[in-house]
Structure 1
Amino acid sequence: MAKQNLPRSLSSSRRDRRDFLRSAGLGATALAMPFPVWQDFLRGASMGIVVHSYASRWHSKAGSQKFPAFTDAISLMEHCKSIGAGGIQVTVGGWSSDFGAKVRTKREELDMYLEGSIALPQDLGKVPDFEREVIIAKESGASILRTACLSGRRYTNFTSKEDFLMFKENAIRSIELAEPIMRKHKMKLAVENHKDWTAQELKQIIQSVGSEWVGVTLDFGNNVSFMENPMEVIQTLAPCAFSTHVKDMGVQNYSDGFLLSEVALGEGIVDLRTAVEICRKHNPAINFNLEMITRDPLEIPVLTESYWTTFEHLSGLDVCKMQRKLDENQFKGELPRVAGLSQEEQLAFEESNILECLQYSRESLKL
């Protein structure tokens, strides 16, 4: 395995897991502690955790003894509480009423908040299923449901402007179908900027829907992939934000553009303290949910013509300003990578990153 394919905390594939954890820094220190000490180490952190932060561990087939799979929201919640998180944001699709009641009981026992993640109804016939999930989520204790309009990435999903405009029309229709259900049950629907909408596009969509029950899940880093300055995105969307995905982003240039990766909080290009202040100014009760996805960097091919097929949101000056920002803030060292790691090493690296981010949130963001 080539050295460049390793996370920055791992210098040789021949290190065993104990050496890897020892070299992983803060997270490894916490993992090495006896459970009660580890819990005390992070006690007081109120930042929540998005299920996608545990992309490797969620329903994992690795059979790890050290990092057992999370099989449902309850096992995720119990672990997140044990490491000091204040709540979770998790998918509610497929829940039964009985399971929702169990989630509520566990949530109340652990004194944690719960945000759901839900798919939008694609047509009128899907509305009853959507409403059923909303009801179960509410009964389980959630008051906010995060959603996304696109599962992929705009610059790779669409090969023509016409295709994107058709998607946009359908997505708005889905939000409009969801709104009466949210209003009926007094639940908030929070649409994420999920590498689908520019900040201004999403703001305009929310304003056009014009409902107190429809707002935004403000992702701090996604729109870097659109060459948008993260602070401008946060300033644009914070006034209508119900929820957040807190992350920091590392960038490095490559031949067709730049590489983009979630990195430990405080190591990237997002001004996290200011972002938190802005969000709290507009919504003092907003939850801050960590979305630290441990994976290989994404390639953002901004130097190819196809990348710009659906975009008209930036002037040449805007692009130059953002490119200068990226050039001046190149990530030092190797961006995090999981390629070539064993399943056990991936799970350890993931946990280490999450623990480090929680510690940063306590010490530097006062969450």
Structure 2
Amino acid sequence: MSGLKDLKLGLFSYSYRMAFGAHDVKPRQPMNLFEHMEHVHDLGFDGIQIDLTHLTSHDPAYLKDVRSAAAERNLFVEYGSAYVTADTIVQELHVASLLGAPLMRTFMGFSRFERGTDVAEETTRAVALLRSVAPQAADLGIRIALENHCDATTPELLEVIERIDSPTVGVCVDLGNFMIHLENPVAAVRQLAPYIINTHFKDYAMKMENWGFKSYGVALGEGVIDLKAVLDVLVGEAHLDRIMLEIVSEPQASETETLALEEANVQRSYRFAREVLGIGTG
């Protein structure tokens, strides 16, 4: 695949969500963002996407310290903000700007599977809001990547992006989230290719439970997603110059086992991305 060797490889900090302790697991000694950047650099990644919950402050001095720490380690920075709301999105764009991030990922954030959710109303709200803030984002030199976040289906997301009709707003494709809607990630990425500007590149496995099926995160190459076919589209049709990994691990019986699995999955995924997929080997 042409272009693979020149790709940059990044890691979304949510890949260490359990080590950070900002989500569903609370370790006794949580990781902080500066430790995370040092670790990601030592592993060999080229950049990071910072989850908003892993920032301890929005104080400009703190954000500039984060930016400087990333620059010292030659890590590119992206910002992973929350879902789209009128109350927060402009502030989040300024956080991204202070971090030196040229890209901010967001999502619509509605609960599709709750009774009473009006999908058309939610997507129309997102279109209006993102269309209104696109000029401010452009002035800051930031592109907004709207993720498929278990809310909109691929056709719905495609319609939203086309209605916004701005080069500032594109798509972040999360390969695992497509499976929540029983969509084929390869086919979905092909549909969205003209608008893809960011990735949560991951692998998911599936298994049957008594109540139905479960999809869950695993290390790259250990799930059911055709990662080589997806990468072919991302490079050949979306023309990306960087791939952002998001490696999601399952909590285990103990804190020690949980953190060990999370670390192992990231490291195995890094090796698979470099050695098997050939990302950034030039």
Same fold (TM over 0.5): yes
Letter in 2 for 1:55: R
Whole-Å Cα distance in 1 between the matches of residues 222 and 59 of structure 2? 41
* Structure 2 residue matching 1:47: 3-state secondary structure: strand
Is 2:259 aligned against 1:347?
yes
Residue 286 of structure 1 corresponds to: 241
* Structure 2 residue matching 1:55: 3-state secondary structure: helix
Q: Would you say the 8 A contact 1:86–1:113 is kept in 2?
A: yes
Is 2:102 aligned against 1:143?
yes
Q: CA deviation at 1:233?
A: 0.8
Q: Would you say the 8 A contact 1:120–1:174 is kept in 2?
A: no
Aligned partner (choices 20, 27, 32) of residue 71 of structure 1: 32
Letter in 2 for 1:62: P
Question: Can you give the 5+ residue segments of structure 2 that lack an aligned partner in the other structure?
Answer: 1-5
Whole-Å Cα distance in 2 between the matches of residues 143 and 240 of structure 1? 16
Identity %: 28
* Equivalences for residues 38-53 of structure 1 within 5 A: 46-53=8-15
TM-score, reference length from structure 1: 0.68
Q: Would you say the 8 A contact 2:21–2:27 is kept in 1?
A: no
Residue 62 of structure 1 corresponds to: 27
Residue 133 of structure 1 corresponds to: 92
Residue 170 of structure 1 corresponds to: 125
Letter in 2 for 1:139: L
Q: CA deviation at 1:121?
A: 5.2
Whole-Å Cα distance in 1 between the matches of residues 209 and 21 of structure 2? 33
* Structure 1 residue matching 2:129: 3-state secondary structure: helix
Whole-Å Cα distance in 2 between the matches of residues 63 and 145 of structure 1? 31
CA displacement 1:261-300 (0-9 Å, x = unmatched): 11121122211112112111234343211111112xxxxx
Q: Would you say the 8 A contact 1:45–1:85 is kept in 2?
A: no
Higher strand share: 2
Whole-Å Cα distance in 1 between the matches of residues 119 and 165 of structure 2? 23
**Structure whose alpha-carbon radius of gyration is higher:** 1
Whole-Å Cα distance in 2 between the matches of residues 49 and 102 of structure 1? 19
* Structure 2 residue matching 1:238: 3-state secondary structure: helix
Aligned length: 268
* Structure 2 residue matching 1:235: 3-state secondary structure: helix
Q: CA deviation at 1:253?
A: 2.4
Letter in 2 for 1:109: E
Letter in 1 for 2:31: F
Aligned-pair Cα RMSD in Å? 2.2
TM-score, reference length from structure 2: 0.87
Question: Can you give the 5+ residue segments of structure 1 that lack an aligned partner in the other structure?
Answer: 1-43, 296-337
Q: CA deviation at 1:45?
A: 9.9
Letter in 2 for 1:343: E
Is 2:75 aligned against 1:112?
yes
Residue 91 of structure 1 corresponds to: 51
Q: Would you say the 8 A contact 1:243–1:286 is kept in 2?
A: no
